[in-house]
Amino acid sequence: MDLLDILRTALTQALGPSAIVYALAAIGLNIHFGYTGLLNFGQAGFMAVSAYALAVTVVQADLPFWLGVVLALVAPVVLALLLGVPTLRLRADYLAIVTIAAAEILRLVFGAVETKDVFGGSNGLNGYSETYKGLNVYTKLGVGRDGLDLGVVQYSRDDLWNITVGWTLVALGCLFVWLLMRSPWGRVLRSIREDEDAVRSLGKNVFAYKMQALILGGVFGGLAGLFLALKQSSVVPSDYSSNITFYAYTALLLGGAARVLGPVVGAIIFWFLLTGLGELFSQLTSGTDPILPASIMDGTQASLVRFIVTGLALMLLMIFRPQGIFGDRREIAIDAR
Amino acid sequence: MARFMALMAVLAAILLPVAAHAADATPGASPSASPSASTAPTTGTAINVLLTNQSDKAADGTAKPIPGVTLNVTDEAGNAVGSGVTDAKGRAIIAVPAKATYKVTLDEKTLPEGIALGDGTADSVTVAVRLDGPNNFAAFPIGVQAKATTGFGDKLSDSIVSGVKFGLIVALAALGLSLIFGTTGLTNFAHGELITFGALVAYLFNVTIGLPVIVAGVIAVILSGAFGWLQDAVLWRPLRKRGTGLIAMMIVSIGLGIFLRYVYQYLFSSETKPFSDYTNQARRDYGFIRLADKEVAILLIAIVAITVVCVAMMTTRFGKAMRAVSDNPALAASSGLRVDGVIRNAWILGTLLSGLAGVLLGVNSQINFLMGFKLLLLVFAAVTLGGLGTIWGALIGSMVIGLMVEVGPLFGVPSSIKEVGALIVLILVLLVRPQGILGRRERIG
């Protein structure tokens, strides 16, 4: 067992593209849940519509890449409007059920045999990311295909481009959220979270504010889906299951909801622990004479331990430290109406 | 006279062990007796092929079966998986190891004298084996005159029966969810795992330990109740004592759900496995409908369980106490009710019912660590449709959802996504009548 190796792998992943996907998705959930108190359990659906909007535009309709990107940012707005109109007036748990149901509907439809001609069935779509890859500045700088090995972390040339684009998006997103949340608009959102009726009695249109928050957070979800689609160069329906929403929530709650940097730090720590644990148990069970005998844990089971821990961590976090690492307990919308 | 160029159709249907057309495997097996017959695949997952001669029809329009034809099944890599020979009714059931895509090839040399494949007819067909629910079969005709073997009326009655059966199973789980929601207000996202729990415990006692399915099922239901008690005692009751908010508890239930799902997968693996018994059972003809004996058993058990619970809720002191707590916990407490005890009972009963749903679902189809999670949103849909927290509402909602899911494919709903309709109904109900069919108008927004 090589502890240093485990740490290197974990750190590489924690700063890598996968963590960026969760950071972007969690920034969106932070706007929904952290600032406005909306329980959106369908972030996976927002991610899926963006990813498929790009893929279908470029691959199936043969339209330009940049039009695909624009449509990928329009798609979550449309989805938010469709979901928000019936549900934003309802209680929090209804919104949760509707959003998770909508995300499941989208995933099933995207993966269905009957829609294979458009969405590619369970194999999904690929072949839309050439323009994105062509923009890779590291190719022009003459970095080799193997990329850079910085000792502690190492990334391939493609991943270097991915993390450059990704972390730039995350940074811009955080700046945007920071500016928004200290504006009067942001203060109204937080007041809605605290006491909706009080805001209403001040003459504010609560429904409109909630809708704006749902759209904005949904667009961040869409960005996450778009980035996932670009980094993977393929869109597969199974990537957009409800688990991705739940893990994004875990990341958000880990870092601390209603904090600008909460989702970002949360995503980094979440991926560090997830890959670290995965690598640790994979090393413990691999080799001819594994430390953990196969009768207790085999290779497949080793890959499951980290998710068992994730579930446990989500429970314990919510029970003992709902504000996460950086959050403020008073700022968490967990005392439901 | 030798008949050349016979037109014929091959229908390959993917079957759950239970499901329709597996019919002829074990004539007359009763649920309390013998194991499935030798022709039935031991694993339960199987490809079902029916060979009929479309150019030689009997007076009533049904095509004559072609017996004695060898069919070979290969997987995507081209490895032989299994083979079968059609029986006197032209049917062959070929077991496959897992759900995947397979190629079924017909051995032309084994065709009876005078029958040949028609022009332009391929001798093989690709079959995607999926296991998402009973009756989830697809027909892949080979041949010039491909025809469905059953008429619309038969299909309709078959799918209505499946729908009622599925609806009753969903109703058990929905009653469980409704009881827990009614008394605690918790939207339990780990409810699907309570369903899986029943099926997995039954599997443990049945296959691993070797008890009969029925004994294992009874043990599983009892242990499900104990699991409900344990959950309440260890997790939910302390949380209530701390005054944890409902949203926080809901997120805790998501964490619990993830935790349990992966623990299940850790212990059970991600395979889909059947119970040791009643995997493939013949359907008897009851006039309008055809039912396997185990389906009759499932229907009866579910109806009895639901009736007992509903009557108990209406008449007994225990039921009244539960309704009182769900109406107004504070008032119930000040009237001298032990609210905590009532909630504990709701957890025990709710988990027990969900465990029973899991056992029945396992008998009906097979067991998988995700079976409950896949059902969760349908249970939510049923409960929301009927009215969150009402007993009769959960029942009606479940039946509507069950029928929608099973009958929908007959009216053009793509069968691979037949659950989508139920989920759309869920969203529409919240749009039009958020309190559900039977719910009272109260503060929901």
Closest residue by Cα to residue B349 from B175, B105, B134, B124: B175
Q: Provide, as residue numbers in chain A, all residues whose Cβ is less than 8 Å from the Cβ of B239.
A: 319
- Of chain B, the percentage scoring pLDDT greater than 90 comes to 31
Q: CB-based contact (8 Å) between B380 and chain A?
A: yes
Do the chains contact at B250 and A96, CB–CB below 8 Å?
A: yes
Question: Phi and psi (nearest 5°) for A122?
Answer: -75, -15
Q: Cα separation of A144 and B410, whole Å?
A: 57
Range name among A43-47, B13-17, B145-149 with the lowest pLDDT average: B13-17
What domains are defined for chain B?
8-149 (2.60.40), 153-432 (1.10.3470)
Chain A to chain B Cβ contacts (< 8 Å): 131
Smallest CA–CA distance from B243 into chain A, residue: A335
CA diameter of chain B: 90
Q: Which residue has the higher pLDDT, B106 or B196?
A: B196
Q: Cα separation of B365 and B381, whole Å?
A: 21
ipTM: 0.91
Q: Provide, as residue numbers in chain B, all residues whose Cβ is less than 8 Å from the Cβ of A310.
A: 258
**How high is the mean pLDDT of chain B?**
77
- Coil, strand or helix at A131: helix
Q: Are A257 and A323 in contact (CB under 8 A)?
A: yes
Do the chains contact at B256 and A109, CB–CB below 8 Å?
A: no
Give pLDDT tens digits for B376-386. 999 998 888 88
Do the chains contact at B258 and A319, CB–CB below 8 Å?
A: no
Quote the pLDDT of residue B134.
Answer: 32
Distance from CA of A278 to the nearest CA of B (A): 14
- How do the pLDDT tens digits run along chain A, 337 residues long? 688 889 988 999 999 999 999 999 999 999 999 999 899 999 999 999 999 999 999 999 999 999 999 999 999 999 999 988 878 877 777 888 889 999 999 999 998 888 888 998 888 898 898 889 888 888 888 787 777 777 778 888 888 999 999 999 999 999 999 999 999 999 999 999 888 889 999 999 999 999 999 999 999 999 999 999 999 999 999 999 999 999 999 999 999 888 999 999 999 999 999 999 999 998 888 877 778 887 888 888 888 999 999 999 999 988 888 888 887 777 776 654 4
Q: Are B381 and B426 in contact (CB under 8 A)?
A: yes
Do the chains contact at A93 and B445, CB–CB below 8 Å?
A: no
Cα A264 off chain centre by = 10
Q: CB-based contact (8 Å) between A308 and chain B?
A: yes
> What is chain B's length?
445
Q: Cα separation of B189 and B262, whole Å?
A: 15
Residue B440 has pLDDT above 80, yes or no: no
Quote the pLDDT of residue B408.
Answer: 84
Rounded (5°) CA angle A325-A327-A332 = 130
**Which residues does residue B70 pair with via DSSP β-bridges, in sequence order?**
B85
Q: Give the residue from A241, A304, A330 with the most B CB atoms within 10 Å of its CB, the best one to mutate.
A: A304
Q: Provide, as residue numbers in chain A, all residues whose Cβ is less than 8 Å from the Cβ of B426.
A: 97-98, 101
Token pair 């079966």: residue:
B65
Quote the pLDDT of residue B191.
Answer: 95
Q: Provide, as residue numbers in chain B, all residues whose Cβ is less than 8 Å from the Cβ of A316.
A: 255
Q: Are B352 and B225 in contact (CB under 8 A)?
A: yes
Closest residue by Cα to residue B134 from B299, B260, B263: B299
Which residue intervals of B30-112 are DSSP H helices?
none
What domains are defined for chain A?
3-331 (1.10.3470)
Q: Which residues of chain A from 190 to 209 reach within 8 Å of chain B, CB to CB?
A: none
Do the chains contact at A311 and B245, CB–CB below 8 Å?
A: no
Do the chains contact at A313 and B245, CB–CB below 8 Å?
A: no
**Which residues does residue B290 pair with via DSSP β-bridges, in sequence order?**
B285
Rounded alpha-carbon distances, angstroms, from residue B111 to B8, B65, B125, B126, B147: 11, 12, 17, 20, 20
Distance from CA of A36 to the nearest CA of B (A): 14
Distance from CA of B251 to the nearest CA of A (A): 7
Q: Give the residue from A319, A323, A330 with the most B CB atoms within 10 Å of its CB, the best one to mutate.
A: A319
- CA pseudo-torsion sign B422, B423, B425, B429: positive
Q: Quick one: which H or E segment has residue B82? A: strand B80-85
Q: What is the pTM of this model?
A: 0.79
